[in-house]
Amino acid sequence: MIQFIKHLVRFVIFASAQALVFNQLEIDYGIQFMIYPLFIFLLPYDLNIFLSLLISFLFGLTIDSISNTYGLHASSAVLIAYIRPHIFKLFEPRDSYDPGIELSLQTMEFRWVISVFSLLLLIHHFWFFLLEIFKFNELLFVFQKTILSLPFSIVICILIQTIFLRKTKMK
């Protein structure tokens, strides 16, 4: 129950922060800050995949409806929710994950978090910008946006993890 409320609160905070704050920060060269993949990343890793797909869909749709992007965020959110378990399996440590643990910077190694999270973000960004632009003759622009936005999103998400997630450490 506590878990449920915690994730519900995160849902609201991440969605409003993305739509009302980070989508308003606009720098040129097509750089965009994405923090909402962090919410999907932080869902319990043993959560039923049906549930996590549905949650991500709703989550993306919430952001879409505030920021006038109509299904763009929903599509990318569902994609990474689907890919997430596969990537976790790919980077599984030798003695597998401890059950019930939250996979974040507090419980896992820095290297693990960086590699898993940036891979997820890379897929997310590429898919997002590909859909947003949706022209093959502007493919270079898609790459430019992806590559330029990626470091910004990663740094912001790592900062959020180190600053705000400290209390949930070690139950």
Partner 1 sequence: MRKLFAFFRRFQVFLLFIGLQSLALYIYFSFMSFPKTQVLTSTNIVTGKILLVKNDVTKLFNLSNSNLKLQRENIKLRQKNPISFIQITRNTVKIDDTLFHQQYEYIPATVINSTFDKRNNYFTLNVGSLQGIERNMGVFSDAGVVGVVHFVSKHFAIVKSVLTADINIDVMIEGTDAFGLLKWDGTHARFGQISGISNDLRIKKWRKVVTRGGSGLFPKGIPVGKVYNISSIEGQPLWDVTILFSEDYRKIQRVYVIKNFLKTEQEKIESLIPEDIIE
In the complex, the residues that contact partner 1 under the rule CB under 8 A are: 16, 20, 23-24, 26-28, 30-32, 49-50, 53-54, 57, 60-61, 64-72, 74-75, 78-79, 82, 131-134, 138, 141
CA distance 13 to 11: 6
Distances (CA, A) of 44 to 31, 49, 51, 133: 30, 10, 11, 32
Nearer to partner 1, 69 or 146 (CB): 69
* Closest approach of partner 1 to the CB of residue 60, in Å: 7
Q: Select 68 or 171, whichever has its Cβ closest to partner 1.
A: 68
For partner 1, give the closer residue by CB, 108 or 133. 133
Q: DSSP state, 167?
A: G
Q: What is the DSSP letter of 138?
A: G
Q: Which amino acid is at 22?
A: F
Tokens of 41: 């990343």
122, 46, 127: which is closest to 79 by C-alpha? 127
CB of 144 to partner 1, least distance (A): 9
Closer by beta carbon to partner 1, 26 or else 98: 26
- The structure tokens 């597998």 sit at 96
